[in-house]
Amino acid sequence: MNFQRGQKKEEPEINLVPMIDVLLVILIFLVITTTYSKFSELEITLPQAIAETDKKSDAPQVIDVSVSAKGDYTIDLVPIKFTSIEGLRDALRAASKNQENPAVIISADAKATHQSVITVMEAARLAGYNQVTFTTEVSNNNQ
């Protein structure tokens, strides 16, 4: 016997509440376990290659400054004695031989203090030379 003759059967439906609960837990888990990284950027100007025909015939204008482990300075293989940054600045200007903005190449010993290298950089800045670079040495650790 069917007593529900005139009544419609209720359509089956998906209960969304448990699915929303599960998705919320997954979302919370992802937010907690995500690491946020800060990327810092340096704005640098990279050198551009110049074709052989575009190069000047002049040799590049450079001043070689060497810093020993003891903190002694040599400019173009000539030992320099000075008592202040201004003295080193004057020695750099004398070594430039009236060249217009020469490149200052700093060759520092691995055991030289950071302050002695910074002193050369500051003297170059005071002299008005803004092209400062460093030499490096490749070590062979394959022995």
Chunk the chain into consecutive blocks of 10 residues (it has 143) and report each block's average pLDDT, rounded to whole numbers: 66 88 94 76 65 55 89 88 86 84 88 89 90 77 55
Residue 60's pLDDT is what? 64
Residue 11's pLDDT is what? 81
Distance CA 6, CA 23 (A): 40
Residue 96's pLDDT is what? 84
* 61 CB-near residues (< 8 Å, 6+ apart): 96, 99, 100, 101, 102, 103
Please check whether residue 16 lies inside any domain of the structure. no
Domain with residue 75: its CATH number is 3.30.420.270
Domains held by the chain: number: 1
pTM for the structure as a whole? 0.55
Please check whether residue 91 lies inside any domain of the structure. yes
Burial classification of residue 8, based on how many CB atoms lie within 10 Å of its CB (0-12 exposed, 13-18 middle, 19 or more buried): exposed
Residue 51's pLDDT is what? 58
Residue 122's pLDDT is what? 93
